[in-house]
């Protein structure tokens, strides 16, 4: 077992460079403040007696020390960022369901290949945030199947890395699991000594919500972030999209800070509650990477400004951008087009006893179409709260009749069930993407687009902006969206409503209910 190779005390992340400066500043600031309080308490006004001038001089020295640390930290940060610009690489990765074909010359790297490569690179540590840990098919099907082999391989790779290599693996997973088997492989890896596991019960800490983030950080240098769960179905049954980022400590450390904001609130499997009375009392780290101060990278020679945004706000470090604000800011700034591919697009709070209207993103899109003449295209699934979902989409699409220049079109993306095996898991064969692209911004996230995901549920997004004439990342994401949009699996809203709600159901177009032939 390798669980004690790198113990981290509660609320502390010792190997993060920025935190070393923060800790030193905190000690000096505490000394300054304590000295001032002591003098004031004992003598009313410390400066009235010349005997205490040496103490005041010491306070001045401490304050100067703080200024020096700030200066050194700034230089260190600048050097790190320059190094990152030279070394960071970003690659789009995708999962394409079995028996799905696209009219494209070349597809991006697969999610499976990205995960396998990440794990193989690990020399010291791996941090995993997982909504689900169901890599082996037996938890859903009752037995393994050739279609589950990719998930089985990732499970074995994590097991060997955690037990045979000198690598510490830590995992935070969602709790309570949505379906039976969702957390089975996290527990299995923990029981075999491959990793240290904590469970984040967001609704217990904050009254509602879930841990819905999906990312893997390796050695504070490399990471995956995207829509794919740690689940075999996310490797070859669902449409998934994410990023593989290598040799980029500036961003990997920042994502590691988010991991530890979860870790500090989460509990081990044999504990019943957090060490804290509430999540709001947990000390959080500070980030200097945000919209105002992004990491500047090179993507195929083009300057690219990148930062990581997150939800919910009560788990934010100081300086962190809310991913909802990142999305709405990009929508408000768009002048030409906004292309969105998400599983759920519902302008409501839907996962509470009393549903409520939540038009934040919906309103931003309407303004973009009517006031600025922007072209909007939305690809979504019709999986959850279908009637409400489709009514809102019809309302949004009707706006096209009111716009002089702008346009809005919506399609439903359906992954068909081709084989008998696919029909057993037909509902799991779906688009699960969560990304947006405009003429200068790409946002790749982990959240569906209903209000719950931004207000009470953990989620993250990589935000990349390209402002110069050459915008290869924007072009790449735009081509992926249009590939999906023009495919035979994307159906207009009118066709979907006619064939799935009003007339005889077309099984190649309509989503189905959960199968009763699987174990979940």
- C-alpha dihedral over 150, 154, 155, 156, to 10 degrees? 100
Reading the block at residue 390, the tokens are 């489709």
Residue 451 pLDDT grade (very low, low, confident, very high; cuts 50, 70, 90):
very high
3-state helix, strand, coil in the chain (%, to 5): 40, 20, 35
Strand, helix or coil for residue 420: helix
pLDDT of residue 60: 53
DSSP 71-115: HHHHHHHHHHHHHHHHH-EEEEEEE--TT---S-S-PPEEHHHHH
Find where tokens 């290599």 sit: 165
Q: Which of 315-319, 405-409, 450-454 has the lowest mean pLDDT?
A: 315-319
DSSP state of 61: H
Average confidence (pLDDT) over 85-99: 96
pLDDT of residue 143: 79
Question: Are 492 and 477 within 8 A, CB to CB?
Answer: no
Question: Are 209 and 58 within 8 A, CB to CB?
Answer: no
Residue 229 pLDDT grade (very low, low, confident, very high; cuts 50, 70, 90):
very high
pLDDT of residue 310: 98
Average confidence (pLDDT) over 77-106: 87
pLDDT (tens digit per residue) in 141-191: 887 788 999 999 999 999 999 999 999 999 999 998 888 888 899 999 999
Strand, helix or coil for residue 248: coil
Q: Is 212 a catalytic residue?
A: yes
Reading the block at residue 75, the tokens are 């230089």
Phi, psi of 63 (to 5 degrees): -65, -40
Give the list of residues 6+ apart from residue 23 with CB closer than 8 angstroms, or none: none
Q: Please provide the average confidence, as pLDDT, over all residues in the chain.
A: 85
Q: What's the rounded Cα separation, in Å, for the pair 264 and 284? A: 9
Find where tokens 């290869």 sit: 472
Q: Is 214 a catalytic residue?
A: yes
Residue 34 pLDDT grade (very low, low, confident, very high; cuts 50, 70, 90):
low
Q: Is 219 a catalytic residue?
A: yes
Residue 77 pLDDT grade (very low, low, confident, very high; cuts 50, 70, 90):
low
pLDDT of residue 76: 45
pLDDT of residue 201: 92
Reading the block at residue 417, the tokens are 């069930």
Residue 68 pLDDT grade (very low, low, confident, very high; cuts 50, 70, 90):
very low
Phi, psi of 299 (to 5 degrees): -115, 105
Residue 318: name the closest of 18, 4, 1 by CA. Answer: 18
pLDDT (tens digit per residue) in 296-341: 999 999 999 999 999 999 888 899 999 999 999 999 999 999 999 9
User: Catalytic: which of 214, 341, 377, 414?
Assistant: 214
User: Catalytic: which of 201, 212, 222, 341?
Assistant: 212
% of the chain at pLDDT higher than 90: 63
Residue 415: name the closest of 237, 275, 293 by CA. Answer: 237
Find where tokens 């997982």 sit: 130
Reading the block at residue 13, the tokens are 């992340």
Q: Is 25 a catalytic residue?
A: no
DSSP 180-235: TTTTHHHHHHHHTTS-EEEEE-HHHHHSS--B---EEEETTTEEEEES--EETHHH
Selected residue with higher pLDDT from 100 and 83: 100
User: Catalytic: which of 182, 219, 428, 440?
Assistant: 219
Question: Are 272 and 286 within 8 A, CB to CB?
Answer: no
* Per-range mean pLDDT, top range of 29-33, 275-279, 337-341: 337-341
- Is cis: bond before 328, omega within 30 of 0? no
Is pLDDT of 72 > 60?
Answer: no
User: Catalytic: which of 432, 434, 440, 491?
Assistant: 432
Q: What's the rounded Cα separation, in Å, for the pair 153 and 161? A: 12
**Predicted structure pTM score:** 0.85
Average confidence (pLDDT) over 463-485: 98
% of the chain at pLDDT higher than 70: 81
pLDDT of residue 285: 73
pLDDT of residue 487: 96
């Amino acid at each position: 077992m390798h669980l004690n190779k790198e113990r981290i005390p509660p609320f502390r992340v010792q190997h993060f460079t920025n935190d070393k400066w923060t800790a030193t500043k905190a000690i000096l600031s505490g000394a300054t403040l304590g000295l001032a309080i002591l003098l004031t308490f004992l003598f009313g006004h410390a400066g009235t007696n010349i005997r205490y001038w040496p103490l005041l001089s010491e306070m001045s020295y401490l304050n100067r020390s703080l200024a020096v640390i700030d200066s050194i930290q700034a230089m260190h940060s600048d050097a790190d960022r320059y190094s990152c610009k030279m070394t960071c690489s970003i690659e789009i990765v995708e999962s394409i369901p079995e028996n799905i074909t696209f009219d494209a010359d070349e597809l991006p790297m697969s999610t499976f290949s990205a995960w396998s490569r990440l794990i193989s690179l690990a020399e010291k540590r791996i941090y995993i945030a997982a909504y689900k840990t169901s890599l082996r098919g037996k938890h859903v099907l009752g037995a393994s199947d050739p279609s589950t082999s990719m998930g089985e391989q990732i499970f074995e790779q994590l097991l060997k890395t955690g037990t045979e290599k000198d690598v510490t693996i830590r995992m935070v997973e969602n709790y309570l699991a949505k379906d039976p088997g969702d957390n089975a492989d996290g527990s299995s890896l923990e029981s075999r000594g491959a990793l240290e596991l904590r469970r984040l019960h967001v609704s217990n800490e904050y009254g509602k919500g879930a841990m819905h983030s999906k990312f893997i950080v390796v050695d504070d240098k490399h990471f995956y972030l995207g829509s794919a769960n740690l689940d075999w179905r996310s490797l070859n049954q669902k449409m998934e999209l994410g990023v593989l980022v290598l040799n980029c400590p500036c961003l990997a450390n920042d994502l590691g800070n988010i991991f530890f904001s979860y870790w500090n609130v989460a509990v081990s499997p044999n504990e019943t509650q957090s060490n804290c009375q509430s999540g709001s009392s947990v000390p959080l780290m500070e980030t200097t990477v945000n919209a105002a101060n992004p990491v500047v990278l090179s993507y195929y020679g083009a300057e690219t400004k990148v930062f990581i945004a997150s939800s919910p706000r009560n788990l934010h470090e100081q300086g962190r951008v809310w991913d909802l604000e990142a999305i709405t800011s990009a929508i408000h700034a768009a002048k030409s087009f906004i292309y969105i591919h998400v599983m759920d697009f519902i302008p409501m709070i839907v996962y509470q006893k009393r549903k409520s209207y939540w038009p934040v993103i919906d309103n931003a899109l309407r303004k973009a179409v009517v006031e600025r003449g922007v072209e909007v295209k939305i690809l979504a699934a019709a999986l959850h709260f279908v009637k409400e979902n489709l009514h809102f989409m019809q309302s949004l699409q009707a706006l096209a009749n009111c716009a002089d220049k702008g346009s809005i079109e919506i399609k439903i993306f359906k992954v068909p069930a081709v084989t008998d095996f696919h029909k057993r898991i037909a509902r799991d064969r779906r688009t699960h993407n969560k990304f947006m692209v405009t003429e200068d911004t790409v946002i790749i996230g982990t959240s569906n687009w209903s209000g719950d995901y931004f207000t009470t549920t953990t989620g993250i997004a990589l935000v990349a902006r390209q402002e110069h004439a050459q915008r290869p990342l924007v072009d790449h994401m735009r081509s992926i969206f249009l590939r999906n949009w023009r495919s035979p699996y994307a159906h207009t809203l009118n066709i979907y409503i006619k064939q799935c709600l009003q007339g005889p159901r077309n099984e190649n177009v309509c989503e189905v209910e959960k199968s009763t032939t699987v174990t979940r």
